[in-house]
Chains A and B, each alone.
Chain A
Amino acid sequence: MNFTSDLFLIYPEIVLTATLIVVVLFDLIFKRSQAWLPVLSLAGILAAFFLVVLQFGTNLPAFEYSTKNNLLSIDNLSTYFKGIILISSFFVVLFSIFSSEVKSCKDRHGEYYSLLIGMMIGMFFLVSSNDLILIYLSMELLSLSSYVLAGFVKNSIRNSEASLKYVIYGSVSSGIMLFGISLLYGLTGTTNLNEINTILRGASTIDITFILSIFMILAGFGFKISVVPFHFWTPDVYEGAPITITAYLSVASKAAGFAVLIRFIKAVFFSGISQGGYWNLLTYFDWQSVLVLISIVTMTLGNFSALWQDNLKRMLAYSSIAHAGYILLGVAVLSDQGITAVLIYFAIYMFMNLGAFLIVMLIANKIGSENIDDYKGLGYSIPFLGSVLAIFLVSLTGLPPTAGFIAKLYLFIALVDAKMIVVAIIALLNTVVSLYYYIRVLKNMYLVRDFSKPVHIELKPLSFITILLLVIPVLLFGVYFTPIVDFAKLSIQILGL
């Protein structure tokens, strides 16, 4: 077993690590020229992205210490999610450049970007790790960096509170997860997913401890993807944290969480695949009902709570919970088709959600508030931002011809194909409900013609370009989504299954 031979499989991770180091050193040496830090990180991200693109299509186990017994599995699923993570990181770094919150703390930019990259590394390992311990470790790496970032603006009370809640909540759930892992280890004697799978296949009886351990591990994942009942931290932290970080958490770390969840379910419980791409899982644990139950409760709670929110950031937090519910529904189908839907959903969700957060941030930079009532008449004073935000919100609602519709469409196609009609109807009604709170923003922006305090925002070219980079895909994939779907269809395969 020769580890060095497998190193080429983790070049992206290595590059990121290098970038991390460079950023730290640069920060130490050239204290004055902080403006270069984002550039450096962007460069690193692009380099990593390049490598990831090259890596796409390779399905190899990395660091095997015996056959079928690897720490990392580099496969299309992980690569796809790495791509998602990198793209969103790219945007978040751009956001950070014009985020007033980040600007406010001058001399700590190095800290900020290095932690951001740290999160990336954690996510990279998370999406491709094939071993519970590695999952735990990478998740901790991800969490620890994000705890700090959530409270980045030290003198902001909101930030500090957010980070405190986040750290307590996070460490407890990871602790629970670790305990679950230990139990599973005790039952099977290994932490490698494939091995657990083989042992489970051989197992004769399953006692409740197993179920308990699964639920405890699920608690860890649920914390990351913030689904009911592990979502409680989400609204508070999202509202409290800097918008850039909120956006990042709502997309990237959620993506990582889903990736590992999918891998865990499929790798541990896989017993065969049927015609039409439906998985036959080991029957020890009724994943379908659990996931369906969780996802329905999640989307309902998310939507209905969002209706009450006056703070746009908090509303988007709940809406992201609701979206997590939809995505989980895709997982609950437990079929390749469902996974395809999930992947498509993520790619689109990334653009529209990041976009929404970006506009909110730009407006907040100016008017210093995220309260919906302060959006009155904004559609007239800043027509461009207004209309773009409108597009993102409509896309989040899922109306054609925006990409959001395609995401939902594929989800429902998967559901209907799996004959889960009732679930589909519930989800659709949820969509209708979600219209209220999204449209409420538009109502304030356009229908309320309030010109009392006109806002003027002059866009820097960079931010303008960023907006275009986000809005164009949302519109384009709405009318022509072949590439994204094709890509997703290629990316569903998991190593060794």
Chain B
Amino acid sequence: MVSVGLTHFLVISTLLFSMGLYAIITRKNAVMVLMGVELILNSANINFIAFSRFGNFGYSGQLIALFVIVLAAAEAAIALAIVLNIYKNLSTVNVDEVDNLKD
């Protein structure tokens, strides 16, 4: 029965971060991309909580996490609205097809 330590959390968060990036880069569906963003944010949250828990930094980490969660929600809302708007105009949510603006 091995006790769960800081390292495990960090590994998890790093994995989450990478998966998030992966999703952002590879997914064609805008919604999926946004989910990738959420993953990144949450990996950061895990970091905060883990650090404050194991580093005896008080509760600041947890507080920060709360802030971030709220923000993430707001961000998601706005992003989805924008994606919706895109769908209205282009009737697609494929980020690859949204490339009229370029050199």
Contacts and interface: CB of A to CB of B under 8 A. Distances in A.
B86 A161 contact: yes
A176 B39 CA distance: 11
Q: How large is the interface on B (under 10, 10 to 19, 20 to 34, 35 or more residues)?
A: 35 or more
A189 B57 contact: yes
A186 interface: yes
Contacts of B68: 136, 178
20 contacts: A140-B75, A148-B81, A154-B89, A157-B100, A161-B98, A161-B100, A164-B30, A164-B86, A164-B98, A165-B101, A168-B33, A178-B41, A183-B47, A185-B48, A186-B55, A189-B55, A191-B64, A235-B103, A240-B101, A308-B103
A236 B101 contact: yes
A160 B89 contact: yes
Given A168-B24, A172-B24, A182-B47, 15 more contacts: A151-B85, A157-B90, A163-B82, A164-B82, A164-B83, A167-B78, A167-B79, A171-B37, A172-B40, A175-B40, A175-B41, A178-B40, A178-B44, A178-B68, A186-B55
Interface of B: 13, 17, 20, 24, 30, 33-34, 36-37, 40-41, 43-45, 47-48, 50-52, 55, 57, 60-61, 64, 67-68, 71, 74-75, 78-79, 81-83, 85-86, 88-90, 95, 98, 100-103
Interface in A119-147: 133, 136-137, 140, 144, 147
A144 B75 contact: yes
Nearest to A148: B78
Contacts of A161: 86, 90, 98, 100-101
Contact of A190 (B57, B71, B95, B102): B57
A171 B24 CA distance: 11
Nearest to A177: B44
Interface string A402-422: 000000000000000000000
Contacts of A444: none
A163 B80 CA distance: 11
A118 to B, nearest CB: 12
Chain A to chain B: the 5 pairs with minimum beta-carbon distance, closest first: A182-B47, A175-B40, A186-B51, A236-B101, A178-B44
Interface residues of A, number: 42
Contact of B101 (A155, A162, A309): A162
A246 B3 CA distance: 53
Nearest to A305: B103
Contacts of B33: 168
A222 B76 CA distance: 22
A144 B51 contact: no
A239 interface: yes
Tell me the interface secondary structure of chain B in the complex.
Answer: helix
A144 B57 contact: no
Contacts of A305: 103
A140 B44 contact: no
Interface of A: 133, 136-137, 140, 144, 147-148, 151, 154-155, 157-158, 160-165, 167-168, 171-172, 175-176, 178-179, 181-183, 185-186, 189-191, 235-237, 239-240, 305, 308-309
A181 B103 CA distance: 34
A160 B85 contact: yes
B82 A151 contact: yes
B75 A171 contact: yes
Contact of A158 (B67, B81, B101): B101
B65 to A, nearest CB: 9
Nearest to A133: B64
A160 B47 contact: no
B32 to A, nearest CB: 11
Contacts of B60: 190-191
A154 B85 CA distance: 7
Nearest to A171: B37
Contacts of A167: 75, 78-79, 82
Contact of B44 (A181, A190, A237): A181
A175 B44 contact: yes
Contacts of A144: 74-75, 78
Contacts of B75: 140, 144, 167, 171
Contacts of B47: 179, 182-183, 185-186
